Chain A
């Protein structure tokens, strides 16, 4: 019996008896040193996937989604100011993450206005998150358009798992104060929870001009899970939130002074409600219907949009011998109204109704049972901006035994146009001449889908020390967004007289990106886990025939760091102390004039008994402040060294 030597790490050396020979009483007393769920859940998946577990969320000390994503290899995460983030997956980093889809319990939070995710508006009680799945690489076959470079799935716990009361509160120099609470209850048939949270954040370090970026947010929500019988389960959930965030923006006008930098608050709020019905059929297949309504009201300093999204979709899984067939379909209607608040920013028409109809089919074929699985499928989608598209993929995973998985995939994915490319005019001052010269970005519907063919492969190894994962990719993009200059024209209306240099949004760029990520997780000894990762990204862009774009190639190549190193240590100290360190190194972002930096977060936690836990979290500790991204008119905002104390009580 080799069990004790096999698991030299998992077990202390002074106990020669294998665990399985202990009695039930003794087993009930064995202390758990490491929860191994994270690697094994994703072990056989033929995609570059990372899962952030409940425990990793708690021990990260993070208070927002983007902070949680910092630890994921292959994602570029940069904080722009207190409330704003620029996130990318394998490149294409930007304020709104245009090539990445984010879903909260299946509800898409991708905004079809400026194409992307307003990260600061997305939140929930972090303690109630079951897991966050991060998939780098194209995911269009299942999730549809705009999942070009990645998908982030935030999944909350069932209310059956959150019975009881939880309150956490604290504060510090940047996270100035926060209060989170949840109450849940129920029985075998029906469970529920309600929660609320509020936070206030102080400004970061603005080198030129006043500190503008303080941020306050509040959110409430609920979830109910009802199981009338063994076959059906019905979930209803909803959230409502409001935010007020300081912004700094350049406002342009045709009359003098032509351009002014304004500091003021932006307001955004939203409400959503979702119902999901899951049924296990007698045939062995299962069926799920989901419907949601999502309203967002966003009022930035230069526009306001109110959007109402209605979505209905279903999915069925059917096992048939060696095949596991999935298929589904959906309809989304998203009417929105635009309110012009600044002369030089406009969307036309002001009333717009975006529609998507989609279907997908996918088959998981066990070529050799338990060893080789081939997954083929395609999404078929129609949308009211660019019409019909299809997004097929083929993936294969070979798991010779439980120690190794080798996988590969070829995928086609699409980014569809948003309102910004359909009917948009944004005019900015170019030169204070007489008459003044302006440049105008014009989305006139001449832009169509961006395309990707992605080639991926990966290897995972699970060994007695832990877990190693390697993922490599080569992404070939075509018809990427470009800005094509047109001859300068003189405008007399609206006055006064000025000239405009139009830049039309077109599909004139192609690019190829290559790179990979390697992740290593080691349980060095009982109670000490270390996770490390390195990510590499090389992107090469060029103009397609006919394009005269002068700026996009440099932006695509220079907007994303090439190297990222993350090192995390989770350490259980005696007397119920926990000591956690997260170190990160990010190489320079030339186009944003951001130099390379390295910094670290530290968390010290202790359970006090009676359901109390106290933690002290320090963030960005290596320097008083450092810059991570540009995008603000008055220069780069420094992200401060910060700390906060947090007390959590649960019963």
Chain B
């Protein structure tokens, strides 16, 4: 009776899976998906960054996402009702830097980070997802550590680009390259 045996095994597998539905652990630690946490970081960074005053085109504050998009809808949701520099925040998914991007987020992809960073003018905050993003000249890298999202800052790159990063942000950074 191979068919019945097989069905029995599927049943056992489902049972194994089902056991865990009841066995959820009680945790007091705050949790979120990687996408949600990274989106929240991105919104938060804006509170600690001053952009040079001469670069403020457009009526919206545009966050551009290039490379592989890690957010799904998490970023779109996070920017609802948000304002930066008194402008409503808008998210655009772009192949590379475009004129109205104030923050350029570079998702980890098979392409080299520097391809996305080449040609970005001063006054744009660049945020990436790999430790190597800073080596490539990016300003803030979101990195995973012990199941948490932390960030590192390349202060030299920010200064070079006239983006001022508050010391409060630097205090929380896991590492600051000066």
Chain A contacts to B: CB under 8 angstroms: 1-3, 6-7, 10-12, 15, 18-20, 22-37, 39-41, 43, 130-131, 155, 158, 160-161, 188, 227, 230-231, 233, 278, 280, 282, 284, 286, 319, 324, 370, 402-403, 462, 523-528, 530, 567, 569, 571, 573-574, 579, 581, 583, 585, 595-600, 622
Contacts and interface: CB of A to CB of B under 8 A. Distances in A.
Interface in B30-73: 30-37, 39-41, 43-44, 48, 68-73
Contacts of A525: 24
A231 B172 contact: no
B71 A28 contact: no
16 contacts: A10-B36, A24-B41, A28-B148, A31-B147, A32-B31, A36-B33, A36-B74, A37-B108, A40-B68, A286-B111, A319-B96, A370-B92, A402-B72, A402-B73, A567-B17, A583-B13
Contacts of A280: 112, 114-115, 118-119
A388 B70 CA distance: 41
Given A20-B43, A31-B27, A596-B6, 19 more contacts: A6-B77, A22-B40, A27-B149, A28-B148, A28-B174, A33-B32, A36-B34, A36-B35, A41-B70, A227-B135, A230-B117, A278-B115, A403-B73, A462-B72, A567-B17, A569-B20, A599-B9, A600-B9, A622-B9
Contacts of B109: 41
Most A CB within 10 A of own CB, among B20, B31, B76, B118: B31
Given A34-B34, A525-B24, A585 B10 contact: yes
A200 to B, nearest CB: 31
Interface in B98-126: 108-112, 114-115, 117-119
Contact of A160 (B2, B93, B135): B135
Contacts of B151: 28
Contacts of B137: 230
B26 to A, nearest CB: 8
Interface residues of B, number: 71
Contacts of B17: 530, 567, 569, 581
B36 A12 contact: no
B16 A30 contact: no
A30 B78 CA distance: 16
Contact of B68 (A33, A41, A523, A526): A41
Given A31-B31, A462-B72, A574-B25, A585 B114 contact: no
Contact of B110 (A20, A130, A524): A130
Pairs A-B, 6 closest by C-beta atoms = A19-B40, A160-B132, A583-B13, A280-B118, A20-B40, A574-B25
A88 B169 CA distance: 52
A18 B77 CA distance: 11
A34 B33 contact: yes
A253 to B, nearest CB: 40
Contacts of A319: 95-96
A498 B130 CA distance: 68
Contacts of B108: 37
A598 B9 contact: yes
Contact of B73 (A31, A231, A462, A600): A462
Contacts, number: 206
Nearest to A581: B16
Contacts of B83: none
Contacts of B168: 24
B36 to A, nearest CB: 5
Contacts of A569: 16-17, 20
Contacts of A6: 77
A573 B73 contact: no
B114 A233 contact: yes
Contacts of B148: 28-32
A6 B131 CA distance: 31
B151 to A, nearest CB: 8
Contact of A27 (B13, B44, B70, B95): B44
A73 B83 CA distance: 43
B131 A161 contact: yes
Contacts of A32: 31-34, 37, 144, 147-149
A403 B72 CA distance: 8
Contacts of B48: 24
B82 interface: yes
Nearest to B20: A571
Contact of A579 (B20, B82, B136): B20
B72 A12 contact: no
Nearest to B117: A230
A280 to B, nearest CB: 4
Given A20-B40, A28-B150, A567 B13 contact: yes
B110 A40 contact: no
A176 B77 CA distance: 50
Contacts of A600: 9, 13
Contact of A573 (B25, B77, B114): B25
Given A32-B34, A40-B70, A230 B114 contact: yes
B25 A30 contact: no
B114 to A, nearest CB: 5
Interface string B136-152: 11000000100111110
B1 interface: no
Interface in B1-31: 2-3, 6, 9-10, 13, 16-17, 20-21, 24-25, 27, 29-31
A41 B70 CA distance: 7
Contacts of B35: 36, 40
B35 to A, nearest CB: 4
A22 B72 CA distance: 21
A5 B27 CA distance: 20
A596 B16 contact: no
B31 A33 contact: yes
Contacts of B80: 1-3
A211 B41 CA distance: 57
A10 B32 contact: yes
Contacts of A188: 135
B86 interface: no
Contact of A31 (B29, B71, B74, B172): B29
A23 B110 CA distance: 32
Contacts of B167: none
B103 to A, nearest CB: 14
Nearest to A133: B110
Given A12-B31, A402-B76, A19 B69 contact: no
A20 B32 contact: no
Given A280-B114, A524-B21, A583-B13, A30 B136 contact: no
A43 B52 CA distance: 35
Given A319-B95, A402-B73, A573-B25, A7 B36 contact: yes
A18 B30 CA distance: 11
Contact of A24 (B44, B70, B96, B147): B44
